[in-house]
Structure 1
């Protein structure tokens, strides 16, 4: 998959500037599809050239003009076709920390513990951000009511995937910490 479909999916929410899209990526898509702002802007240019998005310039006083992007009919059709196609391959984990844990027997247990604590802190931070997004989406409704009545549920369901991922990261970190503590006297 390319960044193309992540951008098209983000534009289902409606018209957005490149800056706004980069914030969407930071909050809701970064857990499963990371992108730098430069990659995002290049992709928007490509998508516009291909007729999948169109833009308009919004004049602003005291700030530079900004371009607002929106899906075209062709872009929506392309995204719909993509969404109906099975993934080409299953998810693969590429995580530097897992390589370090694989080699932990050659490392100082305190260094391993520090790495795990750092990962746990990242996960707690992401969970807090995801919870704020969840609260904003629910806007006082319970989950069942939201899922029954919301215009779009895809963003919520992917957010729930991100929450589950980070919760599992925290469970794994706790297990690794327990093992490192138990093994420390053996070292």
Structure 2
């Protein structure tokens, strides 16, 4: 919605940017000129642990959007092997807009879409063995991500100017440790449920006819 004192359509362009565009601009805010591929590497190193793991096509879509509104600019450079490459940097207007977004934009609540929990919720349609397999795989994935986040944290801690990325990576290690522990507790809860005899289907659920 436009401000009352301004004509319709006169909002600053940044007010219409999706959060993914701000994330890409945030990568550029660390002061280096980066190619789209290098932005993807940055995202894989830390951003994926707490927000987004973009495809290359998504990155280039956001870079074009940022250039269009004047928040990023690009130029052709030459790589060490002699090949040309397009390098993107944040503009002063982009840094000002990103600062304003961090300082003033409403923070959207996280959305939880937990595939493992969804399937346990439908446990009356699965065998106990399948449920345990699903939860065990989730626990193992959480442990793997914990280890990867810890590597990211230790690397960020060694780089000057990366104090805040290091804090977020530390948060990510705690998050995945908690997710692993929740999965272990779910496995124990499943065992307890089966032992109690309460694992019966909801009323009205068809049952297989006995042979």
Structure 2-normalised TM-score? 0.76
Q: Secondary structure at the match of 1:168?
A: helix
Question: With CA pairs under 8 Å and 6+ residues apart, which has the higher RCO, 1 or 2?
Answer: 1
Gaps of 5+ in 1: 140-145
Aligned counterpart, 1:155? 165
The CA RMSD over aligned residues, in Å, is: 2.1
Gaps of 5+ in 2: 1-17, 200-211
Using the alignment, how far apart are the partners of 2:173 and 2:98 within structure 1? 25
Counterparts of residues 107-126 of structure 1 (less than 5 Å): 107-126=126-145
Q: Tell me the alpha carbon deviations over residues 119-154 of structure 1, each in whole angstroms, 9 at most, x when there is no partner.
A: 122212211111112222223xxxxxx9xxx53422
Counterparts of residues 79-158 of structure 1 (less than 5 Å): 79-139=98-158, 150-158=160-168
Deviation at 1:88, TM superposition (A): 4.6
Q: Does 1:40 align with 2:50?
A: no
Using the alignment, how far apart are the partners of 1:80 and 1:118 within structure 2? 40
Q: Secondary structure at the match of 2:137?
A: helix
CA 1:32–1:94: 2 relative to 1, 3 Å = same
Using the alignment, how far apart are the partners of 1:86 and 1:42 within structure 2? 22
Q: Tell me the alpha carbon deviations over residues 75-94 of structure 1, each in whole angstroms, 9 at most, x when there is no partner.
A: 10111001012535422212
CA 1:99–1:51: 2 relative to 1, 3 Å = same
How many residue pairs were aligned?
178
Deviation at 1:97, TM superposition (A): 2.0
Aligned counterpart, 1:18? 36
Q: Secondary structure at the match of 1:92?
A: coil
Aligned counterpart, 1:30? 48
Structure 1-normalised TM-score? 0.85
CA 1:6–1:129: 2 relative to 1, 3 Å = same
Instruction: Give the greater-gyration-radius structure (CA).
Output: 2
